[in-house]
Amino acid sequence: MKKLVPIVLLVLISVPSFAKHIIGGVLTYECLGGGNYRFTMKMYRDCSDPTGAGFDFGAPFSIYKGSDPVPIETLFLSPDVITGIDPEDNPCLELPPNVCVQEGIYVFEYQFTDWPSTESYHVTYQRCCRNATVTNIKTPGDVGATFTVELTAKSQEFCNNSPVFNAFPPIVVCANYPLVFDHSAVDAEGDQLVYEFCAPLIGGGMNTSPNNCDQIVPNPACPPPYETVDFVNPPYSFFDPMGGSPPISINSSTGLITGTPTTMGQFSVAVCVSEYRNGVLLSRIMRDFQFNVGDCEPTINADINADNLVLENGQYLIRNCADPLIKIENESTLQSNIDNFQWQFYVGDSTWVYNTWDVSVNFPGPGSYQGILALNPGSQCGDTAQIFIDIFPRLVAAFGYDYDTCVAGPVSFMDQSFIDGIGQIVDWRWDLGDGTKDTLQRNPVHVYGSPQVVLVNLEVEDSHGCTDDTTRAVTYKPVPALILVKPNDTVSCAPAAILFNNLSSPIDLYYDVHWDFGDGETGDAISPVHTYERPGIYSVKLEITSPIGCSVDTFFENLVEILSPPIADFFYSPTDPTNLNPTVDFTDRSIDAVHWDWIVNGQLVSQQQDFSYTFPDTGLQVVSLAIVHPENCLDTLTREIDVKPVVTFHMPNAFTPNEDTVNDLFMGNGILIGISDYKMEVWDRWGGRIFETADPSVAWNGRVKNTGRAAPAGIYPYTVRFTGPRGEPFEFKGLATLIR
């Protein structure tokens, strides 16, 4: 039988002084008589993290009576003994190097003045926190534990002693291997004890406020009743705290814990033992403990590696195809613990013995053989691996192929594989070289879409699971069985660039291709583009010759018709539009047009054959007519039309600025769109300038500078100058008669 060692995963985290460390504890009592009791608390901590918190010195133990929420007293105690707990020593187990558990024992005596009492006494200590890596309870790193014991009235009446657990729980437990642990207790008075799984109690928390039950170390400890941990449910609960197959359970009469854990992790488990005398409950104590479940490894393990198939624990099957030379690598562990090793193989009536670490054995030929690898034979911590060897006959993959080299058609493949001995081929896996796989047929037939040299692979498998494969180059270069040509257009207008799409297959650049386009021109591209310059009906001939000399040709009569191209043309009226007359009529004069697109300054404005258009602005306008032939041939004509800007201007000869709103202002009017450099000046009879403006919308109101004194009635010379839209100068001179 293989010996097992537990492997436990311990998380090392840098934490402050309230680091998670609690992994359990139990509180018991002894009655010394006269109301005097000795209490013993055994607390367990994870010491694998050197930064974790230690046992409390000055730990507050609070004593409550009945339902009174105020303690009758709180004692501050330090541990009497701190002891490291070693896992069970076993010479055949290799223990993990960083497993560390300590037990701190607090012992104190207390004299109850009201004793025996008709009410219970509760002695309680609380501390945060549990390891954050606990698997079966929620937020384990934020909650601690409550260690408490109740002195019932009946227990006081009989000066009873509580039960005391016999053995320390196992620090580590092996996953997938049976657990058997005697969790029984002993009772001084020989009372009946009943065992059960129960829920661990919560105590303390991460709160740093004073006088709070969620403090790291509540002081005083909070009064009963106490909350229980919240299990991750499913799959865990207080009565099924670890799962397993079969689940971990406890015998109610004996306290024996059995089952096979299957999940690695850390599990908080509580065991309660109830003490009965003549059917009356005297006391109930609880031990809260963290079980660590991990992988287990033997210190000596016979193991080999030779592409082997493990049948079951300690048994290996080696299968080899054709080659009788078997090489086996010895991967046994731990090599430092192996003092002696030996290979034995049974061939016929003989036993072949080898004393090398690795071994090479040349068996007589195909057949079935057995052997063993024995480590430390006859010692307490030995191990043996049983080896079964099957050597199968040689399997050879082979195939042939055939096709008509001058007519494109399918390629037939013929399997020629064989077994040199007993057995049969059961599977054929073809890779036909063009991405096609065939795993259904022994002799597939395949059509290649193009001429090529393909690498075809055949892999075969026999009834023993042996495989072999072979690859051959298959040359596929026939001429097409049918020449197919598809022009991109068969009716078009000259000049017409026609793409002749050669759909013949198979064909590639190594084939000789000759085109006759029917207009005296030829070509040698596989799919050429040819331009027909003149109208007419043309027949086309294509000839294809394969690389191995087979030829085929086809004559396509009257394949392409080339028509005369359309001609775009138009005229417009008037031929000299202005801003005073901006509407122009356009008339189509195109030849062979069925569709018209009129485009003005880059914008489509009409699709009628004739239309009228009003230009919104003066200047050079670009007008295009795009026409479409019945065969979708195109032609376009573009013309530039100058819409000339016209300027009109005239001045009055008199005005009457008497503020009657009739003829009160002197200014010119007309069409002045696009003018610049406007200037109007008015002088008096002595040559003094009494008004000027650069704004054609500003008039003279008959006052000096339009703001001074009123000018007297009389005749005033004026001048108006400006530049036209296209830079032409304008000047107007005259006399303005001011009448008052």
Give residue-wise pLDDT tens across range 512-537: 999 999 999 999 999 999 999 999 99
The mean per-residue pLDDT over the stretch 312-336 comes to 86
170, pLDDT greater than 80? yes
18, pLDDT greater than 50? no
The mean per-residue pLDDT over the stretch 472-497 comes to 88
285, pLDDT greater than 70? yes
The mean per-residue pLDDT over the stretch 256-261 comes to 95
Angle at 648 between CA 647 and CA 652, to 5 degrees: 150
The mean per-residue pLDDT over the stretch 657-670 comes to 90
The mean per-residue pLDDT over the stretch 390-397 comes to 93
Whole-angstrom Cα distance, residue 374 to residue 393?
30
Strands of 495-633 (E only): list them: 496-502, 512-516, 522-523, 529-532, 536-545, 551-563, 570-573, 583-588, 595-600, 603-606, 611-614, 619-628
230, pLDDT greater than 70? yes
Strands of 322-424 (E only): list them: 325-330, 341-347, 350-354, 359-362, 367-375, 383-392, 394-396, 399-402, 411-415, 418-420
Give residue-wise pLDDT tens across range 129-148: 998 889 999 999 888 999 99
* 548 compared with 666, residue with greater pLDDT: 666
Whole-angstrom Cα distance, residue 99 to residue 266?
13
The mean per-residue pLDDT over the stretch 673-681 comes to 92
Check residue 93 and give its pLDDT: 54
Phi, psi at 706, each rounded to 5°: 70, 0
DSSP 156: H
Among 168-177, 646-655, 709-718, name the one with the lowest average pLDDT.
168-177
* Residue 84 banded pLDDT, cuts 50, 70, 90: confident
Which domains, from first to last, does the chain contain? Answer: 22-294 (no CATH), 304-392 (2.60.40.10), 394-476 (2.60.40.10), 485-563 (2.60.40.10), 570-643 (2.60.40.10), 648-738 (2.60.40.1220)
Cβ pair 623, 604 in contact under 8 A: no
Whole-angstrom Cα distance, residue 46 to residue 99?
8
* 633 compared with 27, residue with greater pLDDT: 27
Q: Identify which of 270-274, 332-336, 655-659 has the greatest average pLDDT.
A: 270-274
* Residue 301 banded pLDDT, cuts 50, 70, 90: confident
Check residue 117 and give its pLDDT: 96
Cβ pair 545, 478 in contact under 8 A: no
12, pLDDT greater than 60? no
CA 726, 727, 729, 730 dihedral sign is positive
Whole-angstrom Cα distance, residue 711 to residue 691?
11
* 404 compared with 722, residue with greater pLDDT: 722
464, pLDDT greater than 80? yes
Provide, rounded to the nearest whole percent, the portion of the chain with pLDDT above 70.
Answer: 94
Cβ pair 202, 227 in contact under 8 A: yes
275, pLDDT greater than 80? yes
Give residue-wise pLDDT tens across range 398-428: 999 988 877 778 999 999 999 988 889 999 9
Please name the residues in contact with 283: beta carbons below 8 A apart, sequence gap of 6 or more.
Answer: 149, 150, 151, 152, 155, 160, 162, 163, 274, 275
Check residue 90 and give its pLDDT: 53
CB atoms within 10 A of CB 29: 23
The mean per-residue pLDDT over the stretch 243-250 comes to 95
* Residue 307 banded pLDDT, cuts 50, 70, 90: low
Report the mean per-residue pLDDT for the chain. Answer: 89
Check residue 9 and give its pLDDT: 33
Give residue-wise pLDDT tens across range 552-594: 899 999 999 898 889 999 999 999 999 989 999 999 999 999 9
* Residue 6 banded pLDDT, cuts 50, 70, 90: very low
